[in-house]
Amino acid sequence: MNHSTPVTVASDRASKRKEEKRNRLLAAARKLFVSKGYHETRPQDIAKAADVAHGTFYSHYADKREIFLAFASGAQEDLHSYVHARIPKVDSFEEYIRYSLTSIQEFAEQNPGLLRSALVDTKVFDPTDSTSKEVRSKFASGFIAQLKNAKLNGELYEDIDPDLIGHAMMGLIQFSAPMAYRKGQSRQEYVDHLSRFLTRALVKSPKNLK
């Protein structure tokens, strides 16, 4: 008698249950990291919110940092997809900046606290943690790529370092957006201010363009 089919079905069911629990843990972690922050979220809190045993957490993730990285990576993928779909073909770095800032702000407004949580500097809590560096580098990579292209096209000043400025832009957005909100500025006002600042700092004036 061939028992391969029942065994395969049982294996498939076990795999589906395992994947379902992993997804529940990640969904719970996402809510807790956003509402409570990285430092105040514990693995047992995530397991409880996901309605699984505490030990189940460790059968899927080694520690809090690992599930945080999964959460942050997912947030970055969501952001990238959202922004990429809303940036048409542009002819200048300034246009790219305006579309990017507008889309990022829209995403942040629709997902309160998500970016702030995903970009938290976990080294404040644990100096040996490399999680924050990985997430921030991924976030900055889109800006860096555009800066490199704009520099090759002669739009930017020759002494611009795309890698350095790409990370600087990320930090600028991360910390300036909450300030604009507290000042009562609209999304358009914020985008206008930041676009002007970045364009004047990075882009050659028309008389200097080659």
If you average pLDDT over every residue of the chain, what do you get? 85
pLDDT higher than threshold 70 for residue 1: no
* Residue 209: predicted pLDDT: 44
pLDDT digits (tens, 9 = 90+) for 4-21: 566 676 677 878 888 999
Contact 9, 2 (CB under 8 A): no
Contact 177, 102 (CB under 8 A): no
Q: For the chain, give the percent of residues with pLDDT over 90.
A: 48
**What single letter denotes the amino acid at residue 77?**
E
* Residue 191: predicted pLDDT: 94
Kindly compute the dihedral angle of the four CA atoms of residues 37, 40, 41, 42, in this order, to the nearest 10 degrees: 160
Contact 103, 87 (CB under 8 A): yes
- Residue 8 phi/psi, 5° resolution? -65, -40
Please report which confidence band the pLDDT of residue 207 belongs to, taking 50, 70 and 90 as the band edges: very low
* Mean pLDDT value across residues 42-70: 93
Please report which confidence band the pLDDT of residue 83 belongs to, taking 50, 70 and 90 as the band edges: confident
pLDDT higher than threshold 90 for residue 205: no
* Mean pLDDT value across residues 99-112: 90
Please report which confidence band the pLDDT of residue 178 belongs to, taking 50, 70 and 90 as the band edges: confident
pLDDT digits (tens, 9 = 90+) for 125-162: 566 666 656 666 777 888 999 999 999 999 999 999 99
* Residue 210: predicted pLDDT: 44
Residue ranges of domains in the chain, CATH in brackets:
1-61 (1.10.10.60), 69-208 (1.10.357.10)
